[in-house]
Amino acid sequence: MKYRLALALLILPLAACVTPEQKLKAAVEEFKQKASGQFVSETTGATLFIAPIRARMVTDEAIYVERHQGTGVMSRIVDIAADKDGNIRLTALTFTQEGQWRELRENPELLTALLPKDVRPAGTCTITPAEDNNSLTFSCGGSAVETFKRL
């Protein structure tokens, strides 16, 4: 009986162990959950749509970002990576043929056909969800930082 108790006490801490890779993956998942949704800018009236996506031929972890404003639509795939300290790094990818991918929001299954030749680097993005999860700040590809409220 004593051996079972000792064994149980040794195994218990191991059950709660989380590898560094799991922590980084959890940080990426938490970011995707907090950043996803529909938002509107009170200053410009622009709308922002962010959704997690699977585009395995292009990136392991990503979100699809679509920003609508009077001047048109900006759409990007944003690659998400966490550095060893758990900080989220966002890299924007733009489509090489914009018109070919216009229907991604309505037909997300198109992402399964997306290949590396269909995108090119477009700088970095900054997406920072607020603590209360009701807004975020957004900037992509050198645009000015703008605050968006969740719809």
Question: Is 70 exceeded by the pLDDT of residue 9?
Answer: no
Q: Which amino acid is at 142?
A: G
Task: Supply the pTM of this predicted model.
Answer: 0.85
CA diameter of the chain: 74
Look at the chain and report how many structural domains it folds into.
1
Residue 26 lies in a domain: yes
Rounded mean pLDDT of 59-85?
A: 92
Would you call 142 helix, strand, or coil by DSSP?
Answer: coil
Examine residue 11 and state whether it is found in any structural domain, yes or no. no
Lowest-confidence pick of 8-17, 38-47, 92-101, 105-114? 8-17
Q: Which residues of 72-108 are buried (b: 16+ CB within 10 A; e: fewer)?
A: eebbbbbbbbbeeeeebebbbbbbeeeeebeebeeee
Whether 12 is covered by a domain: the verdict is: no
Joined together, the tokens standing for residue 28 give: 């990426």
In CATH, what number is assigned to the domain containing residue 35?
A: 2.40.128.590
Predicted local distance difference test score (pLDDT) of residue 90 = 97
Coil, strand or helix at 53: strand
Domain that holds residue 38: 20-150
